[in-house]
Structure 1
Amino acid sequence: MQFSRLPRCSSNELINALYRLGCYRGRATRGSHQLFHRDADGRTLTGVVVLGKREVPRRTLRNVLEQLQISPEDLRDALR
């Protein structure tokens, strides 16, 4: 995956994009993090999103995309 051109987005924008990409919320956690799941290739992938950020740091965004196996292009399309 090529992560050089990651879009900048807030936590809320990222969460809305994840829903559009077929992800769903996992169990509720206490605090500032939320689990998201995505079914792919017969298995469930899990990613953790930090809530309440005006701008998600690029490294964090890259980690979430890697955990959920989502390409930056797919995220960019879902953010539009």
Structure 2
Amino acid sequence: MKIAESVARLGNKLLSLIAVLLILLLFSYGAYSLWDIYRINNNAFVSDSLLRYKPDGIHSPGFDELRKQNPDVKA
């Protein structure tokens, strides 16, 4: 009877350890997911350094003017 009691206690401790490890693993994955989403959303916006290359529409050449500069363009 003592052996069964020892095996049951060992099994209980082992299951508790597995549960704690699983909880820590899931918590780590959740924290990583939140961090990853945060980084993706912060980098999704265009920075000011890239906005200076955006054509303003006033001084930008039209399609016909660009086609004259580059005859390889096919419409």
TM > 0.5 fold call = no
Q: Which has the larger radius of gyration?
A: 2
Compute the TM-score of the two structures, normalised by the length of structure 1.
0.16
Higher relative CO (CA 8 A, sep ≥ 6), structure 1 or 2?
1
Larger helix share, 1 or 2? 2
Greater share of residues in strand: 1
